Structure 1
Amino acid sequence: MWKLFVILIIVIAGAIAYPSPIDSKAFQPSRSLAMNGVLAPNDALQATQLTTLPAGMRGGEDIAVDVLNCVYTGVENGDILRKCTYSDWEVLANTGGRPLGLAFDAQQNLIIADGEKGLLQLTPKHDLSTLVDQYQGEKLGVVDDVDIAADGTIYFSDASALFSLKDHFFDGLNAQPSGRLFSYNPTTKALTLLADDLFFANGVAVAKDQSFVLVNETFAYQISRIWLSGEKAGQKDTFLDKLPGFPDGIATDKNGSFWLAIFAPRSQLVDKIHPLPWVKNQLAKLPKDMAPVPPAYGFVVQLDKEGNIVQSLHDQAAVAIGEITSVQPESDGLYFGTLHGREIGFLP
C-alpha cells in the first residue's frame, strides 16, 4: 500500500511541476444580473423551427440572409453553405479554415470572419479572396465576427492574440485580455485598430445611427461600446455588463435595437476559481474533455439602443435549440446559429 501511496505522490508532484499552457492572472468576475423580471427563464425558444445542415456537417456559427432571402452559414469543415426556398443546401466555397462571422456588404459580397484565415470576401460569383490577415506584419489571431457600416466600412473582432481558436478555453482561464476590434476600409485597404485588451472580443454590431459599434467581451460578461462620431468619438465605454452568461454574437435590428446571443449561462465553478491563478494554471493542464462544460441552454436577449434589456427568450433544457452563438434579426423573424449543432434555427 505504501508503494502505491509513494507512486501517487510522485504522479501528483510531476503533474504540478509540468509547465502549464497558460500563465493566468487573478480576475474578479462581476456580480451577475438576477435572472428575474425581463430575464426570468421561459421556454419561448422551444417554438424554434430547425433546418438540418447537410449530412456530416455541423456548427453553423453565424447566419446571413441575402436580398433574395437565401440563407448562408459557415460550418466546421470550412464550407460556406447557401439554402434558398427553392433549393437544398449548396456548397459555395471552402475557406480552408473556420468561418465564424458573416455579413453582406452593399454589393452583396459575403464578408467572412474566419477564425483561422482572417477577413475574407466571397463575391456573388463565388470568388473567394483574403481582405486582410495581418496587422503590423503579424498574423491576426482569431477573427471572430463582422458587421458593415452604411459607408461600407467593415468592423471585425480578433478574439485573442494569445491563443488559437482550438485553444480558446485557455483564453478564458488566462484572464489576460488580448482581444481587439478593427475597422477595415475596402476602398483604401486601410486597417485601423479601434480597441484592444478586450476579454475575448466576439460579436460585433454597428448602431443603426452609425454613432457607435458594439463588441462583446465574452469572458468578462459584458458588451463594450466604441464611439464612432460625436464628442466621444474614439472612446470606449461599457454598454452593458454583469451579463448572466457568455455573450457571443450580436446584431442590429431594423428598429435600432440589438439582439444578443448568450452561448451558455455562467459557470459558478469558473467564477469561483478566477481569483486563483495557481488553480487555473493547473486546470489548464488537464485534457480538454475534462474541462467544465455548462449544461446546454438556449438564451437570447433584446437590448434597446441605450443598453437596457427589453426581453429575453429561453429554452431552459435546450429542447429545440441551445448553445446559441448568433441571432440574426430579419423581416420574417430571428435566425439562430450554433457552434456545434447539426441544425440552424428560425423563430417566426
Structure 2
Amino acid sequence: MRKPALRPVVWYPPPRPRRARAAVGRVPLPPVRRLPLGATGPEDVRVDAAGRVLTGVADGRVLSLDGDGGPVRTVAVTGGRPLGLCPLPDGRLLVCVAERGLLRVDPESGRTETLLREAAGRPLTVCSNVVAAPDGTLYVSDSSGRFRLEHWMGDLLEHSGTGRLIRYEPGGKAEVVLDGLQFANGVALARDASWVVVAETGAYRLTRLWLTGPRAGTRDVLIDNLPGFPDNLSTGPGGVVWVAMAGPRDPALDLLHRTPPALRRALWALPSGLTPGARATAWVIGVGEDGRVVHDLQRPRAGYRMVTGVCEHRGRLYLGSLLESAVGVVDLPD
C-alpha cells in the first residue's frame, strides 16, 4: 500500500495579543524632583502610615526619609539585595531580599526576621515583591526558577516562564497559587481585596488571581500587551493599580520570543553589550479596576531613568529606580 506523502511542517508565529485598552492618551510626566539618598538603586519605594518614604538600595540597606527629602536614616541592614517593600499596619515592614527570601523588619530597632525562604520544596530564587491582605495573608512573587537577580536579563531572553506567585500565612505553609509566569515581579491587591495581581515583566501583562466571589481561585488577565516592561506595582487610594514601566518594549526582543528556545539560550551567551538595554525614560501608568489605562505619564530624558517602583501618596508619585541614586517625586496631574 502506498504511504501518503508527509506534509512539510510550517511554523507560524503566535497571534498578536490584544492591545492594552486605553481610556486616556499619553501625557508628559511632570518634572521629576530628586530626593538624594547617598546610595544607589532604590528599586522599590513605599510610604508608611507615618508619611515616611521607605526604599531598599544596592548595598543591602533599607532607608527612610521624609516626603520632602531631609535626613536619610538606615532602617535595617538586610545582608542581601532588598527589592519589594510592604509596610504593615503594626508599623513593621516586609522586605523581599532577592537571595534571602522574605524578611520582616522592625524599623525602630532594626531587628530582622526571616519569614519565608522556600515554597513547594523549591527555594525562592528571586524574592521580588510582596503585598499583605487585610486578613494577614501574604502574596509573594518569585521571579525566576532558573536565573538569579544578577542575570535577570537571561530570564527575559530565554522566556522559559518559571516565575510564580506564592500565598503565605505567617506561621503556616506556603502555597504556590500561580506558576509558569514570565518573570513574576510587582504584586498588588484590589482595594476590596477581591483579587491580587502580579506583573509578568517578560510577557508585558498583569495577571490576576481572584480571591473572593464566584470566580475565586481562577486567573485571568487584568491588562496585556503593555507597551513596556511592567515592574513593581502599588494600589493607589482610588483603587488605581500603579505600574512602574522600566522601559519601552524592544522590537528585537519581541521577535526573539517567537524563535525556538535553543536560539534564545544561545543569545543569552552573547556579551551583554549585544543584548537589549535600558532606555533613558521615566514612565508610569495607572490601570483601573476594569483593566483600562487611566494614567499614562512618560518623560523621555527626564534626568531620572528606568523607573522600577511607584507609590502614590497625598497627590504625589514617589519613584524608585535600579540605576538612580535618589528617589524621584512628581506632583500627580489632575
Same fold by TM (over 0.5)?
yes
**Whole-Å separation in 1 of the counterparts to 2:228 and 2:172:** 36
The answer to whether the Cα contact below 8 Å between 2:20 and 2:225 also exists between their aligned partners in 1 is: no
Distance 2:281 2:15 in 1: 21
Letter in 2 for 1:346: V
Instruction: Say if 1:94 and 1:260 are closer, same or farther in 2 by CA, change over 3 A.
Output: same
Equivalent position of 2:147 in the other structure: 163
Give yes or no for the alignment of 1:142 onto 2:117.
no
Question: RMSD across aligned C-alpha pairs, in angstroms?
Answer: 2.1
How far apart are residue 68 of structure 1 and its match?
2.0
Gaps of 5+ in 1: 1-25
- Cα deviation for residue 288 of structure 1 reads 2.3
Aligned match of 2:167: 183
CA distance in 2, matches of 1:158, 1:232: 24
- SS of match in other structure, 2:191: coil
3-state SS of paired residue (2:24) = helix
Name the aligned partner's letter for residue 112 of structure 2.
Answer: L
Residues 205 and 213 in structure 1, CA contact (< 8 A), matched pair in contact too? yes
Choose the corresponding residue for 2:266, options 278, 282, 290.
282
Which structure shows the bigger proportion of residues in strand conformation?
2
Contact 2:147 2:155 in 1 (8 A): yes
2:253: which partner in 1?
270
Once residues 292 and 35 of structure 1 are traced to their aligned partners in structure 2, the CA distance between those partners, rounded to angstroms, is 26
What does residue 7 of structure 1 align with? none
**Percent of residue pairs identical:** 34
2:177 is matched with: 194
2: CA distance, partners of 1:343 / 1:116: 24
Which residue is 1:298 aligned to? 282
CA 1:217–1:36 in 2, change beyond 3 Å: closer, same or farther?
Answer: closer
1 or 2, which has the higher helix percentage? Answer: 1
Q: Answer whether contact 2:20 2:293 (CA < 8 A) is retained.
A: no
> Which of 218, 243, 257 is matched with 1:260 structurally?
243
For 2:228, the equivalent position in structure 1 comes to 245
| CA drift at 1:28 | 4.7
Q: CA deviation at 1:27?
A: 7.9
- The aligned residue for residue 24 of structure 2 is 38
1:311 counterpart (295, 316, 319):
295
Q: Secondary structure at the match of 1:38?
A: coil
1:37 deviation in Å?
7.3
| Amino acid of the structure 1 residue aligned with 2:52 | C
Secondary structure of 1:100's match?
Answer: strand
List runs of 5+ in structure 2 lacking aligned partners: 1-11
Shift of 1:289: 3.6
Distance 1:64 1:330 in 2: 9
Counterpart contact for 1:35–1:244, Cα < 8 Å: no
Report how far residue 137 of structure 1 moved. 3.4
Residues 28 and 274 in structure 1, CA contact (< 8 A), matched pair in contact too = no
Which residue in 1 is equivalent to 2:209? 226
User: What is the deviation of 1:255?
Assistant: 1.1
- 2:79 corresponds, among 82, 85, 96, to 96
SS of residue matched to 2:202: helix
Which amino acid is 2:28 matched to?
Answer: D
Residue type of the partner of 1:150? P
The alignment partner of 2:151 has SS state of helix
Structure 1 residue aligned with 2:312:
329
- String of CA shifts for 1:219-264, please: whole Å, max 9, x gaps: 1010000000111111111110010010111111111121111110
Report how many aligned residue pairs link the two structures. 317
Contact 1:29/1:220 (CA < 8 Å) preserved in 2? no
In 1, the alpha carbon distance for the partners of 2:271 and 2:287 equals: 38
Q: 1:286 to 1:149 in 2, by over 3 A?
A: same
C-alpha distance in structure 1 between counterparts of 2:65 and 2:22, whole Å = 38
Scaled by the length of structure 1, what TM-score is found?
Answer: 0.86
